[in-house]
Amino acid sequence: MADHVVTLNAGSSSIKFGLFASKPNLPRPVASGQVDGIGADMWFKARHAEDASTTQRDLADMPRGDGHRAAIDVILGWIERSFPDARVAAIGHRVVHGGPDFAGPVLVTPDVLTCLGKLAPLAPLHQPHNLAGIAAATEAFPGVPQVACFDTAFHRGHCFVSDTFALPRRYYEKGIRRYGFHGLSYDYIARRMREIAPLEAAGRMVVAHLGNGASMCAIENGRSVASTMGLTALDGLPMGTRCGQIDPGVLLYLLQHERLPVDAVADLLYEESGLLGLSGVSQDMRELEQSDDPRCREAIDYFVRRIRHELGGFAVTLGGIDAVVFTAGIGEHSALVRAAVLDGLEWLGVVLDAEANARHDQIISTPASRLRVYVVPTDEEAMIADQTIDVAGLARISAAA
């Protein structure tokens, strides 16, 4: 039986999974899918990578007790039936927050889980569910190595001024600092760009991970230099429902004068703001682009303005930019957003190829553009699988196998 790795990305109401075979470079995807509706009426969906065939199953009749454990049982059961020759040799988990102590993937131990649990207040929408997925997988597959792969790890090499807030230094020592997120995506893009455009990958890149969660990263020679996100995944760009950058005085006003409870402020910032809050219509960029409501256009304009603001700042941080890379759902699929971000940036060296942009080509700048612009799909699951293979010490089989 050949060694395979399962990747799990556990959220509050869903678990995404991937099955990967070990290969010399990035692992080969075998299957992927997810369970939706955890805690309610669950659905299972899966797709074979080789022939694109799909499987769907209504799980509404399943008990709603331990939803994550039930979902993982469904996932692993389907893998065992569909790929009987695939031995699950390790399971890799996306963990959003690694704090100051985890600068790379690690084998999960009780001590590691204790440390990660203490970070839950810094990623309340993600961390508890990530850890619930680890607990359920450990129970379902005792003895199989579980590996935690962190969204913050890629940014842990930042210098002090990129990591700190202008607070008394004792808070920095306590771990109140800028961590950055989407690191698995940025790590994948940095590696992928070494294959696509090695000269630019060895230089200065700005990667825009634009999706329901959105951030940007300045990368120099494959290493993160700065990120738009901070202590939590609220900072920086506006997102689907998250506010992004905000004057801290607004929060004081809401607490002191509006008399909002702390939980209500948290819900406002995490669930009611961003594109949804600005438009009053939707958090989905596709719906905003298709709407005639002027508030939708204003929401897009604000999103674009913040991206342009951060792009200009990163140009200064890096001392110039050799490439811009758009990735994730909006970055990969919204020609309108990409064109609006790059409009008028000839001073930065950008000459957009409008037709290539409309086709979603890999390169959307013209040959005359001094700064090259790319559209590159990300693959966080492949990075989780790759890191898991290394940490678990699995053998990498030959490319021909």
Radius of gyration of the chain (CA): 21
Token pair, residue 310, equals: 């951060």
Residue 111 is a catalytic residue: no
Token pair, residue 17, equals: 């999974």
Alpha-carbon distance 14 to 43, whole Å? 9
Residues 6+ apart with CB under 8 A from 131: 95, 113, 116, 117, 120
Residues 6+ apart with CB under 8 A from 162: 178, 225, 226, 227
Write the DSSP assignment of 85-121 as a string of letters.
TEEEEEEEEEES--TTT-SS-EE--HHHHHHHHTTGG
How many alpha carbons fall within 13 Å on the CB side of residue 142? Answer: 1
Write the DSSP assignment of 272-338 as a string of letters.
S-HHHHHHSS-S-HHHHHH---HHHHHHHHHHHHHHHHHHHHHHHHHTS-SEEEEEHHHHHH-HHHH
Active-site pick, 3, 41, 151, 263: 151
Catalytic positions, please? 151
